[in-house]
């Protein structure tokens, strides 16, 4: 693929910059392969097996999509809307019926059946007189290609094995491809299609990978291995830069990197206010990878366990969970790890478990409520966690607690599990602290009562805000109603923190607010000393902490309490 | 069986997200539900299928007809028409 011209001309391409940063690197050109599916038939008698193969592929595809969902958890609702469309296509009843008929009646192999049926709809939708609707043919192709890839038995992508400093140049990256980026070595992304609201853009920002979308013919104009500069701010891609251009972008890169470096200087420091007051910094993790940032934190404030359930085809066994929990505890060493029990249900489903369709999933059988129903599943997780507790400093936390009844119920299950372990002579740490997430208003308002029932609590500001404001945080259309800086939020936080501090019990915060430097001063002023966030945010929050004293923070928190609207509060905080 | 017509009012028409929302809503009902693009003299298609709805090309200003047949047909038509008329939160 290498260009044989000795003299390579510089070429400047303009696209849409959707994720900031300047990167120098080498191109890796990636075209979504156009698999030609041959029309293949089978001998009668194998219908059930082949229909099953198609069913299985759909289940696997759903698990993949859910994984992307979980990656997007901290990013935004926009990407999820697109994935909702993909899921709707995946489980479309017309497609289902036609594929099944094609397999059963025409004896067509499942992959060719999928290809045939999808192609019918791709051409119908693609020919729509409305360009916006015609664009949706891309979503159909995406789902088709995912299914075909799964049916070929391929799960890992070439994208996870790239050399360092690769700039990925693609024609049309799939969400499943994009979800691989974080684990790979991709320094920047250039894509022929897409815009700032595309799922790809949202993921790229989440991973902090400089990205330029909507660069037509990029995979034709750029050759493998060529030198590139990507400017994710202005949407520029320079191919084979000459010396002067290289220098100019070198300056730009230094400027951008300096800003980042300033933050990074704080990476390995402790969280300290200007007057020396300590604020403990925690990280939120969602898998058992080797280093999510343990060295730059004091504790793991939230260990999400959903990945164990979403990455597999059936419920994870006790032993599988035990090994993962043990590994995380050992990696974290002497730092406490707060394991949150399964938070599934609502919008997050498990393909191998049929849950009733609900009108209001977020107000439905979610998390702890589901666990109480699926007692075996709940007990298995608690057993695995307790058995792992001897390998580190484990804490167990229950999500979606809405009343003291819930707390007592969960604790009684834990007690029963402990008794079983005692009877079997299985070792565990009997002093594992037990806590709750405070994310439902009905428990937030009785913080002073619940405090006597638990060892600690952590405030989940995302769900708390969504329930407090009666606003779906993933619905972009009503974003203005999701007011995480509203007076109601800060008053609620204030009463929770005051109750826990008065009782001498640990209180922390693990929602998105903990990662927002604009909120840091208020949180500290309200009395919080434990902030847990995604590890990408710890440096900037530590830098913010170093700017003020406790007295200043308390004054700001006091001043907030008399402000009447979110707008007033944000304006005031920005003016400081 | 009951049928009702209405006009698509949301700016982007029955494209991805509104189509997915309509399917999700339609699936809550037992009734058989169909929708057709009256303006373009289209055939009725399954309203519980996103690929069929996308194939309608029901952009803003087009008139569609919804038909429901089954025990909960009245409620189904009522709710789906309300959803379409609400503009799927886009307006």
> Are A377 and A287 within one domain?
yes
Q: Domain holding A312: CATH number?
A: 3.20.20.60
> Are A512 and A371 within one domain?
yes
Cα A534 off chain centre by:
10
Number of domains making up chain A: 3
pLDDT at A458 over 90: yes
> Are A227 and A294 within one domain?
no
Range of the domain at A334: 273-575
pLDDT tens for each residue of A85-139: 889 999 999 999 999 999 999 999 999 999 999 999 999 888 887 777 777 887 8
- A510 assigned to active site: yes
> Are A221 and A146 within one domain?
no
A282 in a structural domain: yes
A562 in a structural domain: yes
pLDDT band at A76 (very low <50, low <70, confident <90, very high): very low
The answer to whether B16 contacts A130, with C-beta atoms less than 8 Å apart, is no
pLDDT at A5 over 50: no
The answer to whether B54 contacts A133, with C-beta atoms less than 8 Å apart, is yes
Element (H, E) at A466: helix A461-468
pLDDT band at B68 (very low <50, low <70, confident <90, very high): very high
Phi-psi label, residue A10: left if phi above 0, alpha if psi -120 to 50, beta otherwise: beta
pLDDT tens for each residue of A404-445: 999 999 999 999 999 999 999 999 999 999 999 999 999 999
> Are A367 and A468 within one domain?
yes
* Packed helices A199-207 and A77-90: angle between N→C axes, nearest 10 degrees: 130
Contacting A residues, span 122-151, partner chain B, CB-CB under 8 Å:
124-125, 128-130, 132-133, 135-136, 139-140
> Are A437 and A333 within one domain?
yes
pLDDT band at A182 (very low <50, low <70, confident <90, very high): low
The answer to whether A84 contacts B54, with C-beta atoms less than 8 Å apart, is no
> Are A242 and A279 within one domain?
no
In the DSSP assignment, the letter for residue A128 is -
Residue B57 φ/ψ, nearest 5 degrees: 55, 45
Partners of B54 on chain A (C-beta within 8 Å) are: 121, 124-125, 128, 133, 136, 140
> Are A241 and A213 within one domain?
yes
Domain boundary among A122, A151, A180: A151
Partners of A121 on chain B (C-beta within 8 Å) are: 51, 54-55
Helices H / strands E in chain A, number of each: 23, 16
- Which residues of B are marked as active site? 15
What is chain A's length? 576
A41 in a structural domain: no
Superfamily of domain B2-89 in CATH is HPr-like (3.30.1340.10)
A21 in a structural domain: yes
pLDDT band at A198 (very low <50, low <70, confident <90, very high): low
What residue of A is the nearest CA neighbor of B11? A132
The answer to whether B14 contacts A133, with C-beta atoms less than 8 Å apart, is yes
Nearest-angstrom CA–CA distance, A63 and A48:
23
A187 in a structural domain: yes
The answer to whether A93 contacts B54, with C-beta atoms less than 8 Å apart, is no
Please provide the average confidence, as pLDDT, over all residues in chain B.
92
Give the residue extent of every domain in chain B. 2-89
A2 in a structural domain: no
> Are A520 and A546 within one domain?
yes
Q: A480 touching B, CB under 8 A? A: no
The C-alpha of A129 sits at a distance from chain B's nearest C-alpha, in angstroms, of 6
Q: What's residue A75's pLDDT?
A: 42
The answer to whether B28 contacts A133, with C-beta atoms less than 8 Å apart, is no
The C-alpha of A438 sits at a distance from chain B's nearest C-alpha, in angstroms, of 30
pLDDT tens for each residue of A326-384: 999 999 999 999 999 999 876 677 778 877 778 888 898 899 999 999 999 999 999 99
> Are A117 and A21 within one domain?
no
> Are A147 and A161 within one domain?
no
Nearest to A85 among B20, B57, B89 (CB): B20
Q: Domain holding A15: CATH number?
A: 3.50.30.10
* Residues sharing a CB contact under 8 Å with residue A218, sequence separation 6 or more, in sequence order: A13, A15, A169, A170, A171, A190, A191, A192, A237
> Are A290 and A403 within one domain?
yes
Element (H, E) at A132: helix A131-134
* Residues sharing a CB contact under 8 Å with residue A78, sequence separation 6 or more, in sequence order: A197, A199, A202, A476
A42 in a structural domain: no
Nearest-angstrom CA–CA distance, A450 and A507:
12
């Amino acid at each position: 693929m290498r260009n044989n011209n000795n003299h390579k001309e510089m070429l400047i391409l303009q696209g849409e910059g959707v994720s900031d940063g300047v990167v120098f690197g080498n191109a890796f050109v990636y075209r979504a392969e156009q698999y030609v599916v041959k029309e293949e038939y089978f001998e009668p008698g194998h219908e059930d097996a082949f229909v099953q193969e198609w069913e299985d592929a759909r289940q696997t595809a759903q698990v993949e999509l859910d994984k992307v969902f979980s990656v997007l958890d901290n990013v935004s609702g926009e990407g999820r809307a697109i994935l909702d469309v993909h899921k709707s296509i995946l489980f479309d009843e017309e497609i289902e019926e036609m594929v099944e008929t094609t397999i059963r009646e025409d004896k067509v192999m499942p992959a060719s059946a999928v290809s045939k049926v999808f192609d019918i709809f791709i051409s119908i939708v693609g020919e729509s007189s409305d360009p916006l609707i015609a664009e949706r043919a891309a979503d159909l192709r995406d789902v088709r290609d995912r299914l075909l890839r799964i049916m070929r038995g391929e799960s890992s992508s070439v994208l996870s094995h790239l050399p360092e400093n690769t700039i990925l140049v693609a024609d049309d990256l799939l969400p499943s491809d994009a979800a691989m980026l974080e684990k790979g070595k991709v320094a920047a992304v250039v894509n022929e299609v897409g815009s700032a609201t595309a799922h790809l853009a949202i993921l790229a920002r989440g991973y902090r990978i400089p990205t330029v979308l909507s660069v037509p013919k990029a995979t034709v104009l750029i050759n493998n291995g060529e030198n590139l500069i990507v400017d994710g701010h202005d949407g520029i891609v320079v191919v084979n830069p000459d010396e002067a251009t290289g220098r100019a972008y070198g300056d730009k890169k230094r400027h951008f990197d300096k800003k980042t470096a300033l933050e990074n200087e704080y990476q390995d420091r402790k969280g300290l206010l200007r007057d020396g007051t300590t604020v403990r910094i925690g990280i939120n993790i969602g898998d058992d990878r080797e280093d999510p940032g343990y060295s730059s934190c004091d504790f793991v404030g939230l260990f999400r366990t959903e990945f164990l359930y979403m990455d597999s085809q059936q419920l994870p066994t006790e032993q599988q969970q035990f090994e993962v929990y043990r590994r995380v505890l050992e990696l974290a060493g002497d730092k406490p790890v707060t394991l949150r029990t399964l938070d599934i249900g609502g919008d997050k489903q498990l393909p191998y478990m049929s849950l009733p369709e609900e009108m209001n999933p977020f107000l439905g059988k979610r998390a702890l409520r589901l666990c109480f129903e699926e007692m075996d599943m709940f007990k298995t997780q608690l057993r695995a966690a307790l058995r792992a507790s001897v390998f580190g400093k484990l804490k167990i936390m229950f999500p979606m607690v809405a009343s003291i009844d819930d707390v007592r119920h969960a604790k009684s299950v834990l007690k029963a599990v402990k008794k079983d372990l005692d009877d079997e002579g299985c070792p565990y740490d009997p002093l594992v602290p037990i806590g709750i997430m405070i994310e439902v208003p009905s428990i937030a308002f009785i913080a002073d009562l619940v405090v006597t029932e638990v060892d600690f609590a952590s405030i989940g500001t995302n769900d708390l805000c969504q329930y407090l404001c009666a606003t779906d945080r993933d619905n972009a259309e009503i974003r203005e109603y999701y007011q995480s800086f509203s007076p109601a939020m800060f008053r609620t936080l204030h009463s929770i923190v005051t109750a826990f501090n008065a009782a001498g019990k640990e209180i922390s915060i693990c929602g998105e607010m903990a990662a927002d430097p604009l909120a840091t001063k208020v949180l500290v002023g309200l009395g919080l000393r434990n902030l847990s966030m995604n590890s990408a945010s710890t440096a900037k929050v530590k830098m913010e902490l170093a700017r003020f004293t406790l007295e200043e923070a308390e004054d700001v928190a006091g001043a907030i309490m008399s402000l009447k609207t979110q707008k007033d509060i944000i304006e005031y905080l920005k003016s400081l | 069986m009951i049928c009702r017509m209405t006009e698509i009012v949301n700016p982007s028409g029955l494209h991805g997200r509104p189509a997915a929302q309509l399917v999700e809503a339609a699936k809550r009902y037992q009734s058989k539900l169909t929708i057709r693009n009256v303006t373009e003299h289209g055939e009725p298609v399954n309203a519980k299928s996103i690929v069929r709805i996308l194939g309608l090309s029901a952009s803003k200003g087009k008139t569609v007809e919804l038909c429901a047949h089954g025990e909960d047909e009245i409620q189904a038509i009522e709710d789906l028409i309300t959803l379409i008329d609400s503009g799927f939160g886009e307006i």
